[in-house]
Amino acid sequence: MNVMYKALPCNLVIFGIGGDLSRRKLLPALYQLDKENLLHPDTRILGLARSELSEDDFRNMVMNSLVLFVGTHVDQATVRRLMQRLSYQRLEFGNAASYVQMQAYFSALPRTSLFYFATPASIYAEICAGLHHADLIRDDSQVIMEKPIGDSLASSKVVDDEVGRYFTERQIYRIDHYLGKETVLNLLVLRFANALFTSNWDYTCIDHVQITVAESVGIEARWGFYDKAGQMRDMVQNHLLQILCLLAMEPPADLSAENIRSEKLKVLKALRPITSTNLSKKVVRGQYRDGYIKGQAVPGYLTEEGAHSQSTIETFVAIKAEIDNWRWSGVPFYLRTGKRLAMKHSEINIHFKAQPHNIFSSAYPELPANKLTIRLQPDEGIELQMLNKVPGITEISRIAKNRLDLSFSESFNQTRIVDAYERLLMEAMLQNQSWFVSRDEVEQAWTWVDAIINGWNNSGEKPDPYPAGSWGPTSSIALIARDNRQWDE
Ligand code: BG6
């Protein structure tokens, strides 16, 4: 165990303990941290929700969640330890008086509180007001907020202003769970610990970059939420732009939150705006229709449970993003993400430029360029496509394309990849904001995304249909083909 990663003792208070996020992600993450001895022995966890639950009901809910999302093999000693840390209180989120009941819990355990808002952002303000009313916010309290923070620049400012009335920016931890993924964090190591990639990482060596975050799932009974968001707000504004920032940013002076965030912010500020005037050449949006995923028939977006048949919300987006700064001049970043695509598969492809002069041109008029593939999930790993001489006495310059392939599971002999929420919960307990998103980043990302969404609204065009189980609408192939390039598939 790494002693440096011993979290400080705290009261972790989870608002919305019965919700999907808590059950699917937070409780399993806390179980894993406890199993690895990464929770301080004195850390306590208070779950809050609207339902009237007896102690037994609550413990059953926790146990069921662990069995469902960790597995039936859960370690019983860890479960017992975790259960001892946990307690439950019913809370009327909108009733400030209800928060006073929590005072006894806090006065018995007076130490840093970590408030986790696992609820919709629309009630963050009332939670903050309730905590303030009951005098539960101290200078060392922290708050973790889930995305989405608003659905536009204006509404994100409202949420942040409301929370900002009670907590300073240093106390606020905004989650983008992609920043807790091992492979996403590895981008920093790859770029800044390997001289090979530090010096070749700019417009002189890189032709273009592709970022694909493909999901095979649909909207999973979340139609009501998803139809107000769409793939642009749900995935691009946060996850894809954060990946782009880590790929494109200048080396930070160190790993401090201040330095990492300020470098990411510079990238967001340098993104060339996409507005009504250039929208049709730079962005494609799609919506899935009926199709097949792994041989199973699945319904189209407009016929999903709870759907209304006129929706024009996008379930797929492809974008040609450009970064107007010295390093990335003339290097497009093609982003692509969608629901109900052929498979769950997220990867980054860095396409290097071809050699300036080809001495093998008699046999190979066009030598393929090097390509670095970073597989984010599943089958996490890194692959470098290279050219090599085919061995043989008669083969003086026969060339083959080979891959240097590093699979994380094989190389690090891992039985399991740590979940992003484990990392992020632990970092919050260590009071390290480096892997959380600043308000400035959120607002800059919204500024860029709002312009695209406004362009769509002004054009009145509908998203292009694509069959579930495909790689998106054919217009997305055209988007990249116009530049004489193609998507990696
Ligand atoms: C969430 C989105 O932020 O990320 C979901 O709201 C999406 O729509 C999910 O499915 C994808 O996360 P992951 O970790 O499965 O890639």
**Type and span of the H or E element at 139:** none
Report d(CA 420, CA 29) in Å as an integer: 9
The two tokens of residue 50 are 């609207």
The two tokens of residue 475 are 């217009």
Most informative mutation of 215, 315, 376, 417 for ligand 1 (most atoms within 8 A of CB)? 215
One DSSP character per residue, 29-51 reads HHHHHHHTT-S-TT-EEEEEESS
Give the Å distance between the CA of 199 and the centre of ligand 1. 33
- Based on the number of CB atoms within 10 Å of its own CB, is 97 exposed (0-12), middle (13-18) or buried (19 or more)? exposed
Note the CATH architecture for domain 179-481.
2-Layer Sandwich (3.30)
Determine the atom of ligand 1 nearest the C-alpha atom of 219.
Answer: 8
DSSP 294: T
Give the Å distance between the CA of 209 and the centre of ligand 1. 22
Q: Is the CB of residue 234 below 6 angstroms from any atom belonging to ligand 1?
A: yes
Decide: 332 and 252 in contact? Cβ < 8 Å. no
The two tokens of residue 72 are 């039936």
Q: Which residues contact 39 (CB under 8 A, 6 or more apart)?
A: 7, 30, 33, 85, 429
Report d(CA 155, CA 434) in Å as an integer: 24
How many helices, marked H, and strands, marked E, lie in the chain?
Answer: 18, 17
Decide: 283 and 475 in contact? Cβ < 8 Å. no
Q: Is the CB of residue 215 below 6 angstroms from any atom belonging to ligand 1?
A: yes
**Type and span of the H or E element at 473:** none
Q: Is the CB of residue 314 below 6 angstroms from any atom belonging to ligand 1?
A: no
Per-residue pLDDT at 110: 77
Give the residues across from 33 on adjacent strands: none
Decide: 185 and 435 in contact? Cβ < 8 Å. yes
Phi and psi (nearest 5°) for 345?
-165, 120
Most informative mutation of 234, 345, 375, 418 for ligand 1 (most atoms within 8 A of CB)? 234
User: Which residue's CA is the closest to the ligand 1 atom numbered 13?
Assistant: 178
Give the Å distance between the CA of 339 and the centre of ligand 1. 10
Give the Å distance between the CA of 218 and the centre of ligand 1. 11
What does the CA dihedral 428, 259, 202, 281 come to, rounded to 10 degrees? 70
Give the Å distance between the CA of 110 and the centre of ligand 1. 36
Domain layout of the chain by residue ranges: 11-146, 179-481
CB atoms within 10 A of CB 486: 11
Per-residue pLDDT at 106: 85
Q: Tens-of-pLDDT digits for all 489 residues of the chain? A: 444 456 778 999 999 999 999 999 999 999 999 999 999 999 999 999 999 999 999 999 999 999 999 998 999 999 999 999 999 999 999 998 899 999 988 888 778 999 999 999 999 999 999 999 999 999 999 999 998 899 999 999 999 999 999 999 999 999 999 999 999 999 999 999 999 888 899 999 999 999 999 999 998 878 888 999 999 999 999 999 999 999 999 999 999 999 999 999 999 999 999 999 999 999 999 999 999 998 899 999 999 888 888 899 999 999 999 999 999 999 999 999 999 999 999 999 999 999 999 998 888 888 999 999 999 988 889 999 999 988 887 777 788 889 888 888 777 776 678 899 999 999 999 999 999 999 999 999 999 999 999 999 999 889 999 999 999 999 999 999 999 999 998
DSSP 5: G
Q: How far is CA 106 from CA 110, 136, 142, 425, in A?
A: 6, 8, 14, 20
Is the alpha carbon torsion for 70, 241, 245, 265 positive or negative? negative
Per-residue pLDDT at 416: 76
Report d(CA 241, CA 178) in Å as an integer: 10
Report d(CA 215, CA 345) in Å as an integer: 7
The reply to whether 177 belongs to the active site is no
**What is the CA angle 246-175-77, rounded to 5?**
115
Report d(CA 336, CA 232) in Å as an integer: 10
Give the residues across from 192 on adjacent strands: none
Assigned CATH class of 11-146: alpha beta
Q: Is the CB of residue 419 below 6 angstroms from any atom belonging to ligand 1?
A: no
The two tokens of residue 30 are 């806390």
User: Which residue's CA is the closest to the ligand 1 atom numbered 8?
Assistant: 234
Report d(CA 86, CA 76) in Å as an integer: 15
Determine the atom of ligand 1 nearest the C-alpha atom of 346.
Answer: 16
Determine the atom of ligand 1 nearest the C-alpha atom of 226.
Answer: 8
Per-residue pLDDT at 3: 45
Q: Is the CB of residue 227 below 6 angstroms from any atom belonging to ligand 1?
A: no
Catalytic one of 239, 345, 351, 357:
239
Per-residue pLDDT at 1: 41
Per-residue pLDDT at 145: 96
Most informative mutation of 231, 233, 235 for ligand 1 (most atoms within 8 A of CB)? 235
Amino acid making up residue 177? H
Within 232-294, residue ranges assigned H as helices are: 241-248, 257-270, 279-282
